[in-house]
Homo-oligomer: A and B are copies of this chain.
């Protein structure tokens, strides 16, 4: 994430890099709720393919956000959880949720003011 000279860019850019990815915030959100196995995570995030889910998890792992715990059993079992650093991302998701809530209540008001024909 640092430049070649070892310096860093604007903190916002660094933070954005970490969660930059179509499904990453959603993944983080689900892992904040609970540690998840791969298949469970896949079910909880409708629309994502297994392949992409894998690659995004790998990238989150590289960023030190997600921890991968593989049990060498048959059948295999892999648990994903957040690192200590990953748990620090909770406020981001919390704020996103608040905005979502506000957007919803806003839309409901407009719907009430302009009732369907």
Contact = CB atoms under 8 A, between A and B. Distances in A.
A48 interface: no
A88 interface: yes
A108 B15 CA distance: 15
A12 interface: yes
A57 B8 CA distance: 27
A37 to B, nearest CB: 21
Interface string A14-34: 111011101001100100000
A103 B15 contact: yes
A89 interface: yes
Contacts of A78: none
A39 interface: no
A61 to B, nearest CB: 15
Contacts of A2: 107
Given A19-B96, A85-B106, A95-B95, A101 B11 contact: yes
Interface of A: 1-2, 6, 8, 10-16, 18-20, 22, 25-26, 29, 64, 85, 88-89, 91-104, 106-107, 111
